[in-house]
Structure 1
Amino acid sequence: MEQSVIQVYKNANSARAPTINLSPELTSQDLCNPSLIQAAQELFKADGALVINQLFSVELIDTLYAAFKQQYAAYFNDQNYDRVLNVGHKRKMLTVAVQDPFNDPQLYGNPLLLHLLRGLLGDGFVLGSFGAVIALPGAEAQHIHRDHPPLFEDETLDPQLPSFAVTLVVPLIDLTEATGSTRVWKKSHRVPQSQDLAMAASSVPFVQRGGCYLMDYQLLHGGTANLSQQVRPILYIVYYRSWFQEVVNYEQQARVLIAPQEYTKIPKAYQFLFSRQRELFVSQPSIEQYHNNLTSCQREITSHIEFNQLTTQEQAQRLGELAKIALAQYGLKQARLQLVRHGDNTVFKVVTSDLPLAQSNQNSYQPNHFCLRIHRANYLSPEAIASELLWLRSLSQNTSLAIPEPIPTTTGELCTTVQHPDVPEARTCSLTRWLVGESPRFNPSSLEAIGRLLGQLHHYAQQWQPPPHFTRPQWHWQGLFETYAGYSNQGATLWAQVPQDYVVLFGAVSDRIKSIMNALPETPEQWGLIHGDFWLGNLLVSEQQVSRQNYGMIDFADCGWGYWGYDVARLLSDWGTKPDFKSYLDQVLSGYTTIRAFPEAQLPMIPYFIAAQHVSFALWRIHRAQDHPDFRATLVADLKTAAVEVKQILALFEG
């Protein structure tokens, strides 16, 4: 992260609130920089107010503004409404339904924002209220006030406490002297309420679209007059400490309005923000209907939350029931299921004689045995999963490689999507033939044969012409560290979940990979359809094949477009810091180059690709820990191991 893209103004000698100016070029990873977070926390703790410019994209704010006008224009009149609070002359406060486009982690879960709030409010903080204040044209200046009374009868105690609630204010229009803004008295959260009159010096932040300001819940403030002919809407989101309970402000409306179907759209990494909303969930997202069907809505949301808290065995049992529904789509109703693994995907061995034997590579498959994969929810689309299976079908039909052959459903589809009442999301499932063999032990003498196998896979991939609707992830820098970071579809916001101890190290690797990959062209000589997870655990060899070193390949779940060397790096990632690494790499390439040339430009990049994989897997574990008990149990140790490996690799190859 370049220092020039961030400007910090303490404004220590004036009444102006401290201000941080960001650059729109900053990535979500940059926003997690510990120095930036620490500076923001210190400024807010001291002054109780903080302006952050360009925290959000202008496009996001304009989208929110257009939706706000469409959904809430009925309140742009100077009259009284049910469940809308009058908070001053021509000034109204209403609850905004958390639905498209307001149900967006970019708004309420910005990476810098979450790290800042975690330091201010502690672990377990929640989103306590979500709404808007509308200042109509001609609105007079609002009364000066604090948003919450003292917590203690002895008013001298409150100013000594850390923040118990923080308000985020996001203007939906540019705030000018004409439209008005909010007048704030910085440091007033450190002054007993009986001394309010002594707080003379104040300032008004005129924030442009994309900017925001934060206020301690006990900061003195008041909306200024709206002298324009334009309605002035500002969004507010208030975050609470885990123990704080609001006792004022919401006599007429709900603190948060969110429907069950909207809650399920929230990425799991952000659902903790809405942990209190089971008491407020609604079956309809409109203000008028928020009291209806509360019991059924609670039940629906609870099922989602409960599934994530089940043990691994309990989750697998429920998915086993879903597997039976999926097998019916293949015409299999009497098959025997055996759980193989409940990890990233859930895998069952299926034993049945109801399907025909393989027509080719018969010796590679175990007769009457199949592999049913239940693909994890909220990641790859059914179209992307079907594309993986198209690739497997082409490999099994047109090469001698031992590959899991896809089995179509009774209607000819390569995958099927099914539901079960005890599993919260619909799941895409696929069925393939069961390859014979076990994963081989590491043996340097086998590396040449494995390199030859990888060369065969890449050789066919370079010649293969995918159909027009073929879609798979791209494993360039954006795919690894942004779009699909953590092998998720939440890459843009996943960095906010990275523990502070690892942000700098992981970010440095990301920056290095960005520089490397941006310099590599995505030409057929350098780039193509790769396996994505080519390691010994995804190779199979049977007792009969050991002497011939004939290997099968499984688990193409991460296949996508990437650099050819990335597969080589994955194969050797467990030995990147070993003294014999160079020898191992030479042996792999010795076999690989008997089939096709290896791009020389990528040779010096292999160690960096390995470092990238360690960080990518760490992000993946952080993501999966949100909903999988096994990942939660080992996350702390896994992150420590990843950090050690990355540091050692960088030390070896950078000196």
Structure 2
Amino acid sequence: MMDGSDIPLEELLGHLNGLANDALSLWDLPAGASARLINVSENATYLVEAPGGHRSVLRVHREGYHTRRAIECELAWIDALGAEGVVTTPGYFIGRDGSPIQEAKAPGLSVPRFMVLFQFVEGEAPDESGDIGDRFEQLGAIAARCHVHAMSWTKPEPFERLTWDVDAVFGANPTWGNWRDAPEVTPEVRAILEEVETTIRARLAAYGKAPDRYNLIHADMRLANLLVDETGTRLIDFDDCGHGWFMYDFAAAISFIEDDPRIPDFKSAWIRGYQSVRPLGDACLAEIDTFIMLRRMALLAWIGSHIEAPEPQALAAGFAATTARLGQEWMDRSP
């Protein structure tokens, strides 16, 4: 479940709604401000509105997903990317106590929750149903600029963020759970996916974690996290940023649509955009499809461990079988 508890989702969201609205007093907001739920995933996200036109976005963190220090490190990278002109990132509000990270507990919840109030970002996410090859080219260039920055940035110490490697997906304590526990993992599906996991492990062990391949990444750089208007493009939602392979950022960009027939075109566009900023070696290009399968397996696990939320429920039907089909096709064409 999204908070690691046994509270049914509807009841949990009732508690979180009360928490979100009561917590608004922790910031210096206009009178009459109120919070309305707009998204539930790892976190609960609220649109905050007040008379006079104020809008902001409140992120109420999932229980146990990040420590305070990890959130501090996320905000530090957001600040650095924006300050150094790498990409436009969302600002955030400082609480009345001088901290951007607030903590509060609601009746009915066992532990306090961390919260961050972000500035509202104008713009719309690109329409994914139309011709979006140019958007993937833009996404590739943004990813490359972030990667170049990550390699040169002096990270605050101690630096604490999630890790998106093989162990995080397939290890003894996987971040998003065990893919074998996901819906519709039949014996036939499992047999194929066991082989897929073994192949991914072998290929990425050979690929390695050199710092020009594996460093700080956004890890959720989908078109949905790009907001575009006449003033430019902004990159939002750094909640999953952490250490991982650079090529994983393309795999994350096509999350949940890995079987879309346009994927080869999207991949070519993303690589073209990326290489306009930073060259990619043959080894990196050869393993992009491996990262697509690593991400797809992680998403299968995510659906299983978040099945009470609406989005995983909507995605669950057929997801395991499609993952197995994609995995078999990938193994068949892999050298």
Shared fold (TM-score greater than 0.5)? yes
- 1:277-288 map, 5 Å: none
CA apart distance, 1:438: 1.3
TM-score (norm 1): 0.46
Specify the alignment match of 2:243 in structure 1.
561
TM-score (norm 2): 0.86
In structure 1, distance between residues paired with 2:90 and 2:246: 22
Measured at CA, do residues 635 and 435 of structure 1 come closer, stay the same or move farther in structure 2, by a change above 3 Å?
Answer: closer
Specify the alignment match of 1:325 in structure 2.
22
Specify the alignment match of 1:114 in structure 2.
none
Measured at CA, do residues 578 and 335 of structure 1 come closer, stay the same or move farther in structure 2, by a change above 3 Å?
Answer: closer
Specify the alignment match of 2:57 in structure 1.
371
In structure 2, distance between residues paired with 1:452 and 1:374: 31
CA apart distance, 1:584: 2.7
- Structure 2 residue ranges without an equivalent (≥5): none
2:110 is aligned with 1:424: yes
Specify the alignment match of 1:651 in structure 2.
329
After superposition, the C-alpha distances for 1:284-338 in whole angstroms (9 at most, x for unaligned) are xxxxxxxxxxxxxxxxxxxx64xx2253xx5333212111333222233642322
2:67 is aligned with 1:381: yes
After superposition, the C-alpha distances for 1:619-654 in whole angstroms (9 at most, x for unaligned) are 1121123xx3536744751xx224314413531562
Q: Determine helix, strand or coil for the equivalent of 2:55.
A: strand
2:152 is aligned with 1:452: no
Measured at CA, do residues 349 and 644 of structure 1 come closer, stay the same or move farther in structure 2, by a change above 3 Å?
Answer: same
In structure 1, distance between residues paired with 2:134 and 2:93: 35
Q: In structure 1, which of residues 515, 526, 533 is the aligned counterpart of residue 220 of structure 2?
A: 533
Measured at CA, do residues 506 and 452 of structure 1 come closer, stay the same or move farther in structure 2, by a change above 3 Å?
Answer: same
2:8 is aligned with 1:309: yes
Measured at CA, do residues 581 and 416 of structure 1 come closer, stay the same or move farther in structure 2, by a change above 3 Å?
Answer: same
Measured at CA, do residues 497 and 450 of structure 1 come closer, stay the same or move farther in structure 2, by a change above 3 Å?
Answer: closer
After superposition, the C-alpha distances for 1:424-477 in whole angstroms (9 at most, x for unaligned) are 332111111111111101312333222222222222222111111220111111
2:33 is aligned with 1:335: yes
Name the aligned partner's letter for residue 554 of structure 1. I
Name the aligned partner's letter for residue 325 of structure 1. D
Specify the alignment match of 1:351 in structure 2.
49
Does the 8 A contact of 2:297 with 2:323 survive in 1?
Answer: no
In structure 1, distance between residues paired with 2:206 and 2:236: 31
In structure 1, distance between residues paired with 2:273 and 2:61: 33
Name the aligned partner's letter for residue 411 of structure 1. D
2:151 is aligned with 1:462: yes
Measured at CA, do residues 410 and 614 of structure 1 come closer, stay the same or move farther in structure 2, by a change above 3 Å?
Answer: same
Does the 8 A contact of 2:192 with 2:328 survive in 1?
Answer: no
Larger radius of gyration: 1
Report which stretch shifted further, 553-562 or 389-398. 389-398
In structure 1, distance between residues paired with 2:247 and 2:9: 39
How many residue pairs were aligned? 324
Specify the alignment match of 2:76 in structure 1.
390
Specify the alignment match of 2:207 in structure 1.
520
Specify the alignment match of 1:477 in structure 2.
166
In structure 1, distance between residues paired with 2:233 and 2:325: 33
2:237 is aligned with 1:551: no
Measured at CA, do residues 530 and 536 of structure 1 come closer, stay the same or move farther in structure 2, by a change above 3 Å?
Answer: same
In structure 2, distance between residues paired with 1:394 and 1:368: 26
RMSD of aligned C-alpha atoms?
2.7
Name the aligned partner's letter for residue 22 of structure 2. I
Percentage of pairs with the same residue:
25
Measured at CA, do residues 573 and 379 of structure 1 come closer, stay the same or move farther in structure 2, by a change above 3 Å?
Answer: closer
Does the 8 A contact of 1:418 with 1:428 survive in 2?
Answer: yes
CA apart distance, 1:532: 0.5
Does the 8 A contact of 2:126 with 2:135 survive in 1?
Answer: no
In structure 2, distance between residues paired with 1:644 and 1:419: 41
Q: Determine helix, strand or coil for the equivalent of 1:541.
A: strand
Measured at CA, do residues 633 and 446 of structure 1 come closer, stay the same or move farther in structure 2, by a change above 3 Å?
Answer: closer
In structure 2, distance between residues paired with 1:486 and 1:618: 12
Does the 8 A contact of 1:329 with 1:416 survive in 2?
Answer: yes
Structure with the higher fraction of residues in helix conformation = 2
Name the aligned partner's letter for residue 380 of structure 1. H
Name the aligned partner's letter for residue 630 of structure 1. P
Specify the alignment match of 2:181 in structure 1.
497
Q: Determine helix, strand or coil for the equivalent of 2:95.
A: coil
After superposition, the C-alpha distances for 1:585-605 in whole angstroms (9 at most, x for unaligned) are 222121211212224312121
CA apart distance, 1:374: 0.5
